[in-house]
Amino acid sequence: MVPDTMADPLDDIAFLANSANRVAVLEALTTGAHHRDELRERVDVSRVTLARILDDFEDRRWIERTGQTCRATPLGAWVSEAFAELRETMTSEHRLREVLPWFPAEQVSFDVRCLRDADIVTPTPTNMWAHVQRGADCFRSAQRARVVSTQTAPPIVEATKTAVEEYEQRFEAVLTAALIETVGSNATMAPLFAELLDAPTVDIYVYEDELPVTVFLTDGTVGLPLTDDEDIARALVLSENETVYDWAESTFEQYRARSDPVDPDAFTA
């Protein structure tokens, strides 16, 4: 059969997308030549189904056959690679879609596609604090940590205190005046911050206005804690993308330059 060069490309996309068997067969054939029996066993399809798939692929010139052996043509390999990239894109999109309502898109300068490989941590039915605990792990293991924040949580502070005391972590934080006031009046948090501030590797700054975004850098990782309209933590986005890191570092430097060292007396609850 001669391929229809006027066919809608969406038809071929749908042709692959609507059958996991077709995708699997084409992927297998891009790795090298396969005998039909080997291919059927590898993909776990019936002889009739495999025959139909191979006929359809041959019509599209995605494969070539020599007797009972098949292999992908350069065109077929290209299609398989492009389709795999599309699947990866949609997999990333699905993960980001879940947290998009809380993502500060207007406050970041990078394209959301920079987060395609990001690790997105959300609460689970068995661990409602999974995202907070993961953030604490980042601080606990970092040699250097920098923060711009409107909020914090005891696990984060405790992890930072441990890293500072045991590993001499370099810790810098730009916190809003409102957060400093909240921490300073908290009988549990205030002593922790006071001890942190006494460490020679710690600098905490107060920013008098509102901060439009909360972000942290722990070594080469950027963390974006996401909160809803009621300031409830909903997710944590972790990225090692270079563009995201440059934005986070620039954001930290910008707000640190516009902040003042915090008064140690602020943590005397």
**pLDDT single digits (tens) 183-223:** 988 888 889 899 999 999 999 999 999 999 999 999 999 99
Q: Chain-wide mean pLDDT for the chain?
A: 91
What's the CATH number for 103-267?
3.30.870.10
Please write the tens of the pLDDT for every residue from 89-131.
888 888 888 888 898 888 899 999 999 999 999 988 899 999 9
Per-residue pLDDT of 149-163, as tens digits, reads 998 888 999 999 999
pTM of the shown model = 0.79
At residue 211, the pLDDT reads 92
The CATH 3.30.870.10 portion of the chain extends over 103-267
| Confidence (pLDDT) at 162 | 93
pLDDT digits (tens, 9 = 90+) for 58-100: 999 999 999 999 999 999 999 999 999 998 888 888 888 888 8
Where in the chain do CATH 1.10.10.10 domains reside? 9-85
- The architecture (CATH level 2) of 9-85 comes to Orthogonal Bundle (1.10)
**Residue-wise DSSP of the chain:** ----TTS-HHHHHHHHHT-HHHHHHHHHHTTS-EEHHHHHHHHT--HHHHHHHHHHHHHTTSEEEETTEEEE-HHHHHHHHHHHHHHHHHHHHHHHHHHGGG--GGG--S-GGGGTT-EEE--BTTBTTHHHHHHHHHHHH-SEEEEEES---HHHHHHHHHHHHHH--EEEEEEEHHHHHHHHT-TTHHHHHHHHHHSTTEEEEEESS--S--EEEETTEEEEEEE-TT--EEEEEEE--HHHHHHHHHHHHHHHHT-EEPPGGGG--
Q: Is the pLDDT of residue 266 over 90?
A: no
